Structure 1
Amino acid sequence: MSEIQRVHSTERMSRIVKHNGTIYLCGQTAGNESWEIGRQTEECLRKVEVLLAEAGSSVDRMLSVTIYIRDMKDFSAMNAVWDEWISGYPKPARACVEARMARPEILVEMSVVAAAID
């Protein structure tokens, strides 16, 4: 049986889980909830890049991204940031759903699954 590695764990969750060459990131939010959707999206993507690098992966190894958005009225603005960011990379499978967030100020959250670098 292969080992499961959990990184930056708390009593509630782990920020990174690695198993069988696959990396799972917990949901990433901007951290500064006063920002508008575009800036929150940029910060989520920056955090994804940092965590993937720490886990031994990269943006071009993403397999799947689930995006939770507080209000679909922000879908176009979020996508404008996403489209620019992902333009130079292979495209992962992606889902985007409207969701109630833990706090109303959180406008976007992203959960990522990626392959480890061989």
Structure 2
Amino acid sequence: MAKRHMQTSIFHRVVEHNGVLHFSGVVADDFSLPMKGQTEQICAKLDKLLTEVGSSREKLLTATLFVTDMAQKPGMNEAWTSWIPADALPTRATLGVADLGEGVLIEVVITAYK
């Protein structure tokens, strides 16, 4: 049976099944920041969410990053690799998208284990 965490009006932030944690998309709080700054904010939010459900960044399995400006990808990569240890890097896909909402440059979706 799935266990659902942190319900909003339209989804749960985390759904847990057999010890695997599936997270909804996470965006930054300050959309005036460049992609690197938004990524840093997202990583801090992910730390909090992971801790709340008994996991950590070292337990990431996969990450999908949706970005609106591939020219800012080097800054995003810098923030990402500063946040997670090299030996704990998950599988990852970075997808360019046309629009994530006004000011949103990046949205991150992860899967982790407990």
- What is aligned with 2:5? 7
Q: CA deviation at 1:88?
A: 5.2
Render the CA deviation track for 1:34-61: whole Å, top value 9, x for unaligned. Answer: 1111110000001111101111111111
Q: CA deviation at 1:89?
A: 4.7
Q: CA deviation at 1:6?
A: 1.1
SS of equivalent to 1:41 = helix
The equivalent position to 1:47 in structure 2, one of 6, 27, 45, is 45
Matched residue count: 114
| Mapping for residues 52-63 of structure 1, pairs under 5 Å | 52-63=50-61
Q: Which amino acid aligns with 1:53?
A: T
Render the CA deviation track for 1:71-106: whole Å, top value 9, x for unaligned. Answer: 101111111111221235511001101113331300
Percent same amino acid at aligned positions? 31
**Mapped contact 2:36–2:79 kept (Cα < 8 A):** yes
Measured in 1, the distance between the counterparts of 2:13 and 2:98 equals 21
**Mapped contact 1:34–1:105 kept (Cα < 8 A):** yes
Q: CA deviation at 1:16?
A: 1.0
- What is aligned with 1:65? 63
- What is aligned with 2:73? 75
Q: Which amino acid aligns with 2:48?
A: V
Measured in 2, the distance between the counterparts of 1:83 and 1:72 equals 17
- The CA RMSD over aligned residues, in Å, is 1.3
The equivalent position to 1:34 in structure 2, one of 20, 32, 38, is 32
User: Could you list the runs of 5+ residues in structure 2 that have no partner in the other structure?
Assistant: none
**Mapped contact 1:59–1:89 kept (Cα < 8 A):** no
Measured in 1, the distance between the counterparts of 2:73 and 2:109 equals 17
SS of equivalent to 1:114 = strand
SS of equivalent to 1:28 = coil
User: Could you list the runs of 5+ residues in structure 1 that have no partner in the other structure?
Assistant: none
Normalised by the size of structure 1, how large is the TM-score?
0.90
